Amino acid sequence: MELQTFRNTVAGQEVESASGRWLASANPFTGQDWSRIPRCDSEDVERAVMAAHSAFVSGDWPRMTATARGKLLRRLADLIERDAAKLAALEVRDNGKLHAEMLGQVKYLPEYYHYFGGLADKVEGSVLPSDKPDMFTYTKHEPLGVVVCITPWNSPLLLLTWKLAAALAAGNTVVIKPSEFTSASTLAFAGLFREAGFPDGVVNTVTGYGHEIGDALVQHPKVAKIAFTGGDATGARVYAGAAKSLKHVALELGGKSPNIIFEDAVLDDAVKGAISGIFAASGQTCIAGSRLLVQRSVYDEVTSRVVAFASTARMGDPMQPDTQVGPITTTAQREKVLDYIRIARDEGARCVLGGKVPEDPSLAEGWFVEPTIFADVSNDMRIAREEVFGPVLSIIPFEDEADAIRIANDTIYGLAAGVWTQDMRRAITMADALQAGTVWVNTYRAVSFLAPFGGYKQSGIGRENGQEAIHEFMQTKCVWLSLSRGVPNPFVLR
């Protein structure tokens, strides 16, 4: 089969890698390569960063008003809406997640560009009160410069948008490094910027292996900020690399999120919440509710209902509307998931569902793992402490609110948490006590352009979405104007 070719966008032009090398990308459902992307090296990084740098310091972009930038973002939103079906299909082919999920995500992207387009010209500085009567002092908020957005394979365009919309609204220019496994949709998307009327060089892409080009990007002297989503090991490496030149860094990393069911919950809803927390996207989501904490009095009932529900989940072709669980995106990730299943068994967790590759011959080419549930997990087992990033649920019993809080917070992570209860006092008490950037009550896996998202503890640094996100891509300047006619004693601080 001939591979579909995708090229990078640099300074408004479609380009191949300087070395002429390519990298094949596989479809996780068929196991076959279907496309190729440029395999870039440090020369390509240099080209992309310098294109973004010159677009930041000269040309139309730095002269454009924030209102004009906002209009461009809104025009981009319209083009995404037009191309949503095409972009979503590319994502499914690359990452194997359900078409229904990816189409829903891509159709939702325009909201982010409308929101941040609207916000672009609403970032106000202020005139400061002064304790020095001969001074007039004001602040303004300015862009940082070149922002590098590094994105993972699980939701390529959504997680890119969480960075890009705010970064561009703030007036920065951008170099995007998508995951080597799922670059196609980002490269197709990058082609829309020219059509929307963005000046060349404002948005550039560079593709290839993270271990080959990551350091060059992260340590480039002309880069002002790295906005990264991915695993915590890579995140720590990015953080250390960026520290060498003291760059701004935003990290959105993993989680081991507790999804907590109290005995007073509406159990039908809570069971669905448990399923959506871990088996949606085959568990390949940073917000996966991978630790299901269940109050002892309803533990057996909830466990058997979750197992019964999950055992009906239909694995299959992610493009088909009735498929509920797709394959794992990469073979390495599938091996990692299967390794954790072995580790959990060795640790003494009780496997009550799945735990292996499906035997159905129609799934044999794809990289599937059965929806897997371990019961009687203790929170000190590795299966409860480390991010699996796959369809593997650990069910942990608890006694009361204090016990639930203790177990829930006993983790290095703090990305998200779910609480299922009908008691308003309990809901608010739990939301206060949980160490997580997002707490959902009687729902799970809800996100919005309006709502700040990010991690406590080792789940990350910084927030995406909502009004504060634009400030993550800006710096504050304070301007002092002297109204006095003379300069007082120059040897003392004013």
The residues that are catalytic are 252, 286
Q: Residue 332 Cβ, how far from ligand NDP at the closest point, in Å?
A: 8
Q: Residue 119 Cβ, how far from ligand NDP at the closest point, in Å?
A: 24
Task: Tell me the C-alpha distance between 200 and 31, whole Å.
Answer: 37
Residue 186 or 295 with smaller CB distance to ligand NDP: 186
Task: Tell me the C-alpha distance between 407 and 462, whole Å.
Answer: 25
Residue 160 or 192 with smaller CB distance to ligand NDP: 160
Count, residues near ligand NDP per rule CB under 6 A:
28
Q: With contact defined as beta carbons under 8 Å apart, do 404 and 392 qualify? A: no
- Which residues have a Cβ under 8 Å from the Cβ of 402 and sit 6 or more positions away? none
Task: Tell me the C-alpha distance between 217 and 237, whole Å.
Answer: 12
The region of 208-216, 267-275, 293-301, 400-408 touching ligand NDP under the rule CB under 6 A is: 208-216
| Site string (275-304) toward ligand NDP, x via CB under 6 A | -----------x------------------
Q: Residue 276 Cβ, how far from ligand NDP at the closest point, in Å?
A: 17
378 to 407, contacts with ligand NDP by CB under 6 A?
A: 387, 389
Does residue 243 belong to the site contacting ligand NDP (CB under 6 A)?
Answer: no
357: exposed, middle or buried (C-beta count within 10 Å: 0-12, 13-18, 19+)?
middle
Q: Residue 36 Cβ, how far from ligand NDP at the closest point, in Å?
A: 14
- Which residues have a Cβ under 8 Å from the Cβ of 213 and sit 6 or more positions away? 40, 41, 42, 44, 45, 177, 206
The region of 204-212, 263-271, 305-313, 431-439 touching ligand NDP under the rule CB under 6 A is: 204-212
Task: Tell me the C-alpha distance between 116 and 457, whole Å.
Answer: 27
Interface with ligand NDP (CB under 6 A), residue from 150, 265, 338, 405: 150
| CB crowding 213-223: b at 16 or more within 10 Å, else e | bbbbbbbbebb
Residue 155 or 295 with smaller CB distance to ligand NDP: 155
Does residue 152 belong to the site contacting ligand NDP (CB under 6 A)?
Answer: yes
Q: Residue 387 Cβ, how far from ligand NDP at the closest point, in Å?
A: 4
Interface with ligand NDP (CB under 6 A), residue from 8, 27, 151, 204: 151
Q: Residue 212 Cβ, how far from ligand NDP at the closest point, in Å?
A: 8
Interface with ligand NDP (CB under 6 A), residue from 218, 341, 417, 439: 218
Does residue 163 belong to the site contacting ligand NDP (CB under 6 A)?
Answer: no
Does residue 254 belong to the site contacting ligand NDP (CB under 6 A)?
Answer: yes
Task: Tell me the C-alpha distance between 58 and 414, whole Å.
Answer: 41
Determine the residue type at 32. Q
Does residue 147 belong to the site contacting ligand NDP (CB under 6 A)?
Answer: no
Helix boundaries (H) for 296-442: 299-310, 331-347, 382-385, 401-409, 424-433
The distance from CA 230 to its chain's CA centroid, rounded to whole angstroms, is 7
Residue 159 or 169 with smaller CB distance to ligand NDP: 159
204: exposed, middle or buried (C-beta count within 10 Å: 0-12, 13-18, 19+)?
buried
| Residue 197 token pair | 């009327």
Interface with ligand NDP (CB under 6 A), residue from 21, 211, 296, 342: 211
Residue 150 or 167 with smaller CB distance to ligand NDP: 150
Q: Beta strand 203-205 with 173-177: parallel, antiparallel or unpaired?
A: parallel
Task: Tell me the C-alpha distance between 396 and 299, whole Å.
Answer: 9
Does residue 24 belong to the site contacting ligand NDP (CB under 6 A)?
Answer: no
| Residue 14 token pair | 């479609």
Q: With contact defined as beta carbons under 8 Å apart, do 159 and 12 qualify? A: no
The region of 55-63, 150-158, 351-359, 433-441 touching ligand NDP under the rule CB under 6 A is: 150-158
3-class secondary-structure state, position 234? helix
3-class secondary-structure state, position 29? coil
Residue 339 or 346 with smaller CB distance to ligand NDP: 339
Does residue 238 belong to the site contacting ligand NDP (CB under 6 A)?
Answer: yes
Q: Residue 237 Cβ, how far from ligand NDP at the closest point, in Å?
A: 5
Q: Residue 369 Cβ, how far from ligand NDP at the closest point, in Å?
A: 13
Q: Residue 428 Cβ, how far from ligand NDP at the closest point, in Å?
A: 28
Q: With contact defined as beta carbons under 8 Å apart, do 435 and 456 qualify? A: yes
Interface with ligand NDP (CB under 6 A), residue from 117, 199, 201, 214: 214
Task: Tell me the C-alpha distance between 156 and 95, whole Å.
Answer: 9
What is the DSSP code string of 406-421? HHHH-SS--SEEEEE-
| Site string (317-356) toward ligand NDP, x via CB under 6 A | ----------------x--x--------------------
Does residue 177 belong to the site contacting ligand NDP (CB under 6 A)?
Answer: yes
Task: Tell me the C-alpha distance between 109 and 101, whole Å.
Answer: 13
Does residue 154 belong to the site contacting ligand NDP (CB under 6 A)?
Answer: yes
Residue 171 or 390 with smaller CB distance to ligand NDP: 390
Q: Residue 97 Cβ, how far from ligand NDP at the closest point, in Å?
A: 12
Determine the residue type at 492. V
Task: Tell me the C-alpha distance between 441 and 451, whole Å.
Answer: 15
Residues making contact with ligand NDP (CB under 6 A): 150-154, 177, 179-181, 209-211, 214-215, 218, 229-231, 234, 237-238, 253-254, 286, 333, 336, 387, 389
